[in-house]
Amino acid sequence: MRSENGNLHLEIQTSRKSPVGIIRTTQWDKDLKKYIHTQHGRISGCSINQLKLLQAAFREEVVPGNAPEAFHILRSREYGASQAILNLAKETGLDKMLYSRTEPWVDCVLAMIVGRIVYQGSKLSLCNRWENTALWELCGVEGKPVVEKHCYAPLDRLLSRQKAIQKKLAKKHLTSGSMLLYDITSSYFEGEYESSELVTFGYNRDGKKGHEQVVIGLITTEEGCPVGCEVFKGNTSDSTTVMGKIDEARRQYGLEKFIFVGDRGMVTQGRFEEIREHENINSISALTHAQLNELLKRNVVQPELFDEKSTVEIIDPEDGALRYCLCKNPVTRQREHDTRLRLVQLVETGMEEIAGYKKKTTVEKLGARVGKLLAKYKVGKFVTWSIEAEAGEIKSCNHKIKWRIDQHKIEAEEQLDGCYIIRTDVGHGRMDTDSVVDAYKSLGNVERAFRNLKTVQLEMRPMYHKTDDRIRAHVFLCMLSYYVQWHLMKRLQPLFEGDGVGSDRRWSFELVIETLRQRVRHTVSCQDITFERNGEPTPAQQTIIDLLAQSI
């Protein structure tokens, strides 16, 4: 038999009590001027004659019973994706971050981390895949894994190690003066969680109403590499978590100097002032619409300064350490214009319907209908209206409502469509204007992390755990899975950059995983001898494997 890498053969070793067959590939290395041997597996538990029979088969010599028919594939299991991603996780040093020594619970956690990338689903479903994947075997678990022993117990150990692991992640990826990106999201639950203090009703960032939830905070590097997460009660507001993260970065991660980057809902005016009280800690955030209008009233900025092609920087006249970077996004500008136009048209239609109401009613009921309409579409500031009737009078409502759309207010509002201001107290010598803007835009990396965590790529939800500690452990496990996925995507960047565009585009994260999953491990029998044989990688699989093996 031959492989792309050279001659595949069986070497018999008889120096031990029982003979062992070593499956190897031998290839001549022109540069090193010597033969390179690669081991693919071993066969034990066979007699010397049985091994010689297999050796003859590897040499493509005649095997009793006719060569092709003498070999039987008993089963095939997924091997390629599990093996490649497990190797990647270990190459990043994640296994040593979990625990410095090799212990069974560490291997089980690695199996769950890799399994979430390759298969998603619950811990029980991953255990039930043991006959169809080599993942558990690669992680040292022989036979069928038990969910309590191989998933839940290791998950509890993982939670107890969370602070230590996050400290190691921060030490590896953050240095003094680094930028910390921070954002939060919510994840909703279905069912009863009476024993949980975390799961409760609150503002859902995904628009899922009527469900209890938890709030999840995530810290990443500027490039979006996750280094820490925390689970909060479902009714936790964004800004209340900020100072805890600042303290965590200082005390647990040992960062004396850093730049905290958060969105406008995170770094409120109050939080901004609190952060400024800490020496060597700066922040970058955006102003709210109300704060932007306040600067306009103070004449610190003017609408004409906002430009789509360049960023204008203004220094606060009352505080020379405050810098305002004026930006304008053309895509957002068009979207806000179109949204306002649509809402105003809906209000016009609704007002005409109310004004044309023919039945008798009270002024209060008529006014309530108008108020409900304006509250629904949130453009009441553009509508001037009145009802010509005395309170409580019941008569025909014809011509009782007078209303109009204030176009001057709309035009004034349109001047700020797509406009936003980034505020920072980072010195200009440390970061120029464009760097500040890029830093704020890098929050998109955190949003990308949340999308990966919450969608089909990692499927953080639905959460099947009912206790708070298990919920925390599950979220942390998902974060570690994203840590491995983040490294995977970085190493596969050449593959994606060299891909086609439009209809010629081929590669995606899902296709990469599916391509690797097509490489299987066969259980083969020959003359009552059973052994494992890994399928040779296809050219596409080998390309992915080689890219994942390269350090970045």
Mean pLDDT by 10-residue block, N- to C-terminus, for the chain (552 residues)?
61 81 83 81 81 77 58 90 97 96 95 96 95 96 95 97 97 94 94 89 88 95 96 95 95 94 93 93 94 92 91 93 95 94 94 83 84 92 82 51 90 92 94 95 94 86 91 97 97 94 92 96 80 90 94 67
Note the pLDDT of residue 530: 78
Work out the angle at residue 540's Cα, subtended by the Cα atoms of residues 535 and 544, and round it to the nearest 5 degrees.
Answer: 95
Rg (CA), the chain: 32
Query: For the whole model, what pTM was predicted?
Result: 0.82
Per-residue pLDDT at 389: 61
What sign for the dihedral angle of Cα 165, 170, 171, 173? positive
Work out the angle at residue 531's Cα, subtended by the Cα atoms of residues 529 and 534, and round it to the nearest 5 degrees: 150
Closest CA to 344 of 411, 277, 252: 411
**Strand, coil or helix: what is 446?**
helix
What pLDDT score does 518 carry?
96
d(CA 178, CA 345): 48
Sheet strands side by side (includes 2-3): 2-3, 6-13, 20-29, 34-43
Give the helix/strand (H/E) hosting 81: helix 80-91
pLDDT for the residue 394 = 47
Q: What CA–CA distance (Å, rounded) separates 318 from 334?
A: 34
Pairing of strands 6-13, 20-29: antiparallel
Three-class secondary structure of residue 378 per DSSP: coil
Reference 258, options 220, 315, 311, 216; nearest CA is 220
The answer to whether the CB of 114 falls within 8 A of the CB of 450 is: no
Tokens of 214: 């938890």
